[in-house]
Chain A
Amino acid sequence: MNYISIPNLLVMTKKIIYISFAIFVFQFSFSQKKAAPIEEDITLAKELKEQFPKDHIALVRSADYLSFGYDKKNNKVTVDHNLEETLINLDSRSDIQLYTFYDGQSKITNFNVKYRTQKEMYIYPKDEAYTSNDLFHNDSRVKYLSLDFPLLGYKYHTTINKKYLDVKYLTKLYFNGSYPIINKTIKVEVPVWLNLELKEMNFEGFSIEKTVETNSKTNFKTYTYTLNDIPAMYKEKNAPGPTYIYPHVLILAKSFTYNDITSNLFNNTQDLYNWYVSLTNALENDNSVIKNKVIELTKTAKTDQEKIKNIYYWVQDNIRYIAFEDGIAGFKPDEASSVFNKRYGDCKGMANLTKQMLIEAGYDARLTWIGTKRIAYDYSIPSLSVDNHMICTLFKDGKTIYLDGTEKFNAFGEYADRIQGKQVLIENGEDYIIKTVPNSNAGFNKEITDYEFSITGEKIVGKASKKYQGESRSSLLYYLNSIKNDKKENFLEYYLNNGDGNIKVNNINTSNLENRESDIDFSYDITLNSAISSFDNIYYIDLDFDKEFSGYNFEDRNTDYVLTSKKHIESKTTLKIPEGYTASELPQNISFKNDNYDLSVQFKKGDNSIVYTKKFVINNSKINKQDFEDWNSFNSKLNKLYKEQIILTKQ
């Protein structure tokens, strides 16, 4: 749950990070074995290992069962989530941690492990605060215990009961989990007094069986979904958010009826908005403390845009990202005055401060909810799982401009890729406005490199220039500004020579590295000490030390590869051919182009030079799984080309 404002932070990461073993020291449990595996289970384990060779444990069975109750005292619909699983060991031995998370809105009522024979294990889970590097503090806690599987085919049965005190915090159930599952059922027992929609997401391509049974006696409608032979969630870097990849059921509790009175939960987006607004309406918005700062920031500004920029950039530069995601603080922004005084806050706090400062300066600014690209949904779904971020929207002269205080060094009117093309829910009194953050094209993020090389002795010497625009600029500025003053110079050298000691970089000139609105320009002298191999008066030259995308081969990958932003990389290298030398045949040009990619590498022979150009444009900030075949084919040619040497022969 709760809001996330760090790019690429996946909610699931908390579950993945938690399990860390030292390589040779297993985290052993203290159980005493009671039941050796039976032959049938050993055979099953062997079969499953063939099916899932990378996994150590599989779930023979995993059954989610949801039932609902009504908490009269708090007027809340509650959920009992019962998860029963049978785990089997696919290796000679495995040691795992079994864990479950809870927080202020949920509790674990039962955490039980049994041996294969159904004998109780009497092992009690540890309970501790879940800490995350990205959040200063959150109210998540974890209960966990260590389980060892001493033999192949060893089994445990586990039961975890979790109670949600308010139905709105249980938003979805996935079919996939940390381990492959042979038989998965999700059973939801909906009482007649509860209007609940089960929205089936990403079911296409999966043979999920669904049954619906109505029991007129108990007044329950029972939905059962079944799916077999499910792989574990992929542990792949740069993967899209899980809501894009895995089949899941969204739990949309719309309304309930008690004593003939029907109360809306999240029946539609308006209800979701109403709840959000009920939290923001509770803000005091006493702006007296920010007044002077707003005056200071705007008094000498000549135009509205300048005033707005001054405020926006001040928030970016002066408010540190520190998040307290404790209970309702996960959803309710902090007071602008508090964020201002503390000089820190999370995305909501920064959005609210930006808004209040702009209002103070006389502009129409609104709080705005948004789900970053990690989330597949839009606001047609009334659920807390739709969004994970907050920004500020400015309406000015008929234009809509989005301001994200968490995006340090983002220029006014520019948007980070993670919010581009995503719907926003903008506050508008009792009503709300839905809009979409504009997309920018890859050309906006240009990275342009130009090398002018000649050969001296057996070294390549020359001049280089680099230009960074858009997100390539803002991310580099952010990084450079996080480095210690006394280490900056060395870092820049290291950055420009790719950390390669054979490449010397001198006389670096830079543009203003604090100006987020103008391009970054670097120019410098460069020497490549080991790019030439000389044998029998023939030069073999490895001209390219950047070799962009050389490691981007996706042969064994299951998910799209998500880039941090859309890419537009252009590079031109001119090598002057020394007098008395001629260039032998140059490597063949390669290219690949479709709607998403424009990739090409070319060599041209001039009168006394070789011009080597590269262009890599990726329009959608990701490499789609369905394009992997084409991509890999290009990538293999690219890598082959990267290995080919330019040959200069003495005439």
Chain B
Amino acid sequence: MRKLLFITFAIICSASLFSQTKTEEEAKEFFWGKEDKYKTANTIPNEWKNESAIIIYKNENYDFHKYGKRVTYKTSIRKRIKLLDNAAVKEFSEFSFVKRFNTNKGRYTWKKKGDNVVGVKIIKPNGDEVIIDVTKDAVEEKGETKVAIPNLEIGDIIDYFFYKVEPFKSTTPFTFKAVETTLAEEYPILDFKLYFETENDFFVNFKSFNGAPELKEIITDKNNFRRYSLESSNIEKREGARWSYPLLEMPCYKFQVYFARRSYYEDDILGFLSEKEKIIKTEVSQDEVLDLYKARFSSKAKISDIKGFLKDKTFSSEEEKVKAAYYYMRHHYLTRFIEAYIVKQADIVYYPYEYYETKAISIQNRNRFIRYFTAFLKRQKISYDIVIAKKRYDGTINDLLIEDNVNLVLKVKTSTPIYLDLFSPHTSINEFPALLEGTQAYLLETEKGKIESINKETLPISTYKDNVSHKSLTLELNDSFSKINVNSLNKYKGHLKKEIQYDKMIYSDYVHEDYKKYETIQFIDLVKKKKLKAKYSKEIDALIKKYKERIKESLIKSAKQEYSVSKISNYDYDIKSTGRYGLDSYFSYRESYAIEDQFIKKAGPNYIIEIGKFIGGQIEIKENQKNRSENINMAYARTFNYDIKLQIPEGYTVNGLDKLNKSVDNITGSFISTAVLDGETLVIKTKKEYKSTYVPSKNWSLMVKFIEEAYQFTNEKILLKKK
């Protein structure tokens, strides 16, 4: 079912049916009226006749109008699509949308509502046109209108529009949601037109990338009214390739619009505004970045807690002090509240925060983090910069256009600089989003807590030696060769660690180490009343027990998935180290289980073991994926290591080690494996390295080599030969 710009939470209101009807008429005229040049556009090019559907015409419109503080924001889209198979007919045979909705923009009002209008018509192969009555066959369900499109068949053209009118009042400046999208979509597009209409007080940032056509101004006779268009044609469908960032590779456009009624409001907007409304902003200069952020960050905060923590402590260097302060703050402003959050969520304690000091503060947003941490740095007279960076999937900092794309990181200028990001429960020093690593970023340079200048630098980047997983497996066959007992120690560091930490630990696995480290007390000890404490304690224990059961189920599932096995038994696990103090410290856990009826094949008196499967599922490159024009972009470089030890059963010898020795090593990555017999133990070591985050498409064939070598390893077997 097509969900048309789905807007959550809408209340159906019949008060202004009139406006709805008026909007319907207006929308219909706008798209399908006398001026419609695509009314008879029915033909499709021959080269696309084997597609599922073809968009003959796609038209998007963004209109920004105002009268004083009243804004009318209209967005609309029309698609005229030739349906060429059953899948396409099914795709477009049902629509759902919300008719009327409360705007989330500007000043709150329950009176004024936005309207969504949908129009659908079908053009039969003989040219007959049928306009669908979207109210007749519609049903209302959970605030949504659902329409089943009648009389839709293969070969038909469906021509539909979605027209949204959103009026709101705003005396203060307002930033509209940014749009960043490729021209291409699921189906090929024959003709695409995007129109923009703005008036004074609306500021537009708009830029085309990667060869997409530029936005062009359409001359109008009004001084305060501007119209722009972007037109393109014959756009091939978008096909998602692995490790591809579409906004870097494909023609795309990005825009954001701001509304600022008075010139002094313009400075209040957190965005890069053009000098005048009539100028479309396409670039953001270094100075503009400085101007925007200069006065945005405060370094004033009460940090007596940190002072208390640091008191009487000595540090070997400033770095050590900053690190200690960071981890302390992570505990003081975050992890010491986790239990309270959990018991509140579990409804064990109605208001657990009452047990904390009255003015307890938790830090869960970046600005507050920067304020508190820079307050500390300022007090310690440690200089710092605020890093303005942009994630790699979205272009470089030089392409900065939309403020939402900015990521903030703190750079502490100790002798070896330290980079700090807002903490989550496991965030370490020098850990910031991998997608920012190695990018060029702006540094807002500060002096005495004030931003004074701006500069550029390339952010440090982690290597495949920093982001590492290491699995040590010990395998033992049972006497009847029906089971393989697995004992596995799994270690992760760098960016490979975070997700695993969240997947494998529950809160009680790590909060206590912070209590111990900082000599603070756990939630239950904050409760003084004995009776309550006993009650809460029991319920918390019960909750943890349940969490443990659930996480065990999830761990069993993920072990099954990792080795594609259907049955494992006797699963057990324990967390060895949490890896929460340092990006290069390992998170590790041990697990043991038995794999039943898999990976062992009988060959007369001998057995074949599919030993290659123990490095987990490897990527298979299909024939049609071997040629590639998109560059390869990955989140981070990384290494996966396996050490596999197989005890050779008594009375057997092992054969076939030669095929387990593989080696492909090139600039893009490597897969290297070795297998040796150490006494009665087969020792296999494998290493798969993705050496960089970016590989140009011309080097794809090099990547394919080591990826295929790893895939081939999974096919390798050994023979256990009866002596």
Contact = CB atoms under 8 A, between A and B. Distances in A.
Per CB-CB distance, the 10 closest pairs between chain A and chain B, nearest first, are A342-B150, A484-B52, A92-B545, A501-B620, A92-B542, A530-B715, A645-B603, A93-B546, A137-B139, A150-B539
A33 B551 CA distance: 26
A588 to B, nearest CB: 12
Contacts of A501: 620, 622, 711
A342 B347 contact: no
Contacts of B52: 484-487
Contacts of B545: 91-93
B497 to A, nearest CB: 19
Interface in B108-154: 137, 139, 141-142, 146, 148, 150-153
B146 A341 contact: no
Nearest to B130: A341
A540 B610 CA distance: 13
A344 interface: yes
Contact of A91 (B541, B546, B604): B546
Interface stretch (B79-87, B251-259, B321-329, B429-437): B79-87
A122 to B, nearest CB: 14
Given A91-B549, A324-B139, A342-B151, 17 more contacts: A24-B554, A28-B346, A31-B347, A91-B545, A92-B545, A92-B546, A137-B139, A150-B346, A342-B148, A483-B87, A485-B85, A486-B52, A487-B52, A533-B719, A542-B601, A584-B604, A585-B604
B656 A533 contact: yes
A641 to B, nearest CB: 9
Given A92-B542, A148-B347, A486-B51, A644 B550 contact: no
Interface string B567-603: 0000000000000000000000000000001001111
Contacts of B655: 535-536
A320 B83 CA distance: 15
A270 interface: no
Contact of A320 (B93, B541, B543, B602): B93
Contacts of B538: 36, 151
Interface in B56-71: none
Contacts of A530: 715
A551 B566 contact: yes
Contact of B715 (A326, A502, A540): A502
Given A92-B543, A318-B153, A344 B554 contact: no
Interface in A1-56: 23-26, 28-33, 36
A285 to B, nearest CB: 19
28 contacts: A23-B550, A24-B554, A26-B345, A28-B347, A33-B348, A91-B549, A92-B542, A92-B545, A92-B546, A94-B546, A150-B348, A151-B539, A324-B139, A342-B150, A481-B85, A481-B86, A485-B51, A486-B50, A486-B52, A502-B715, A530-B715, A533-B717, A535-B656, A540-B719, A639-B597, A643-B602, A645-B603, A647-B603
A332 to B, nearest CB: 17
A151 B542 contact: yes
Given A129-B142, A482-B90, A645 B624 contact: no
A148 B50 CA distance: 54
Interface in A465-508: 481-487, 490, 501-502
A341 B148 CA distance: 12
A3 B233 CA distance: 47
Interface in B614-655: 620, 622, 624, 655
Interface of B: 50-52, 84-90, 93-94, 137, 139, 141-142, 146, 148, 150-153, 345-348, 350, 506, 535, 538-539, 541-543, 545-547, 549-551, 553-554, 566, 597, 600-604, 608, 620, 622, 624, 655-656, 711, 715, 717, 719, 721
B602 A645 contact: yes
A535 B657 CA distance: 10
B607 to A, nearest CB: 9
B85 A484 contact: yes
Contact of B350 (A32, A150, A318): A32
A290 to B, nearest CB: 13
A501 B719 CA distance: 23
A640 interface: yes
Contacts of A542: 601
A129 B656 CA distance: 62
Interface of A: 23-26, 28-33, 36, 91-94, 128-129, 131, 136-137, 148, 150-152, 318, 320, 322, 324, 326, 341-344, 481-487, 490, 501-502, 529-530, 533, 535-536, 540, 542, 551, 584-585, 639-640, 643-645, 647
Nearest to A500: B620
A629 B538 CA distance: 45
Given A320-B90, A320-B93, A484-B88, A150 B347 contact: yes
A342 B50 contact: no
B602 A36 contact: no
Contacts of B346: 26, 28, 93, 148, 150
Given A92-B545, A483-B87, A644-B601, A129 B715 contact: no
Contact of B93 (A32, A93, A151, A322): A322
Contacts of B717: 533
Nearest to B535: A36
A344 B93 contact: yes
Contact of A29 (B150, B347, B506): B347
A326 B138 CA distance: 13
Contacts of B608: 533, 540, 645
B546 A482 contact: no
B80 to A, nearest CB: 19
Given A318-B153, A643-B602, A647-B604, A136 B550 contact: no
A41 B256 CA distance: 62
A643 B88 contact: no
B456 to A, nearest CB: 42
A252 B58 CA distance: 58
Contacts of B84: 485
A280 to B, nearest CB: 22
Given A137-B139, A584-B604, A343 B554 contact: no
A24 B547 CA distance: 7
A343 B152 contact: yes
A625 B622 CA distance: 42
Contacts of B93: 320, 322, 344
A490 B624 CA distance: 9
A148 B539 CA distance: 11
A93 B538 CA distance: 11
Contacts of B94: 136, 322
A533 B150 CA distance: 57
A354 B436 CA distance: 62
A535 B542 contact: no
A494 B553 CA distance: 31
A137 B601 contact: no
Contacts of A551: 566
A535 B550 CA distance: 44
A542 to B, nearest CB: 7
Contacts of B85: 481, 484-485
A250 B85 CA distance: 46
Nearest to A32: B350
A31 B153 CA distance: 53
Nearest to A478: B86
Nearest to A551: B566
A479 to B, nearest CB: 11
Given A341-B150, A342-B151, A343-B150, A92 B347 contact: no
A480 to B, nearest CB: 10
A542 B717 CA distance: 12
Given A93-B545, A341-B151, A24 B146 contact: no
Contacts of B542: 92-93, 150-152
Contacts of B148: 136, 322, 324, 342, 344
A385 B506 CA distance: 47
A131 B506 CA distance: 34
Contacts of A640: 602
B473 to A, nearest CB: 21
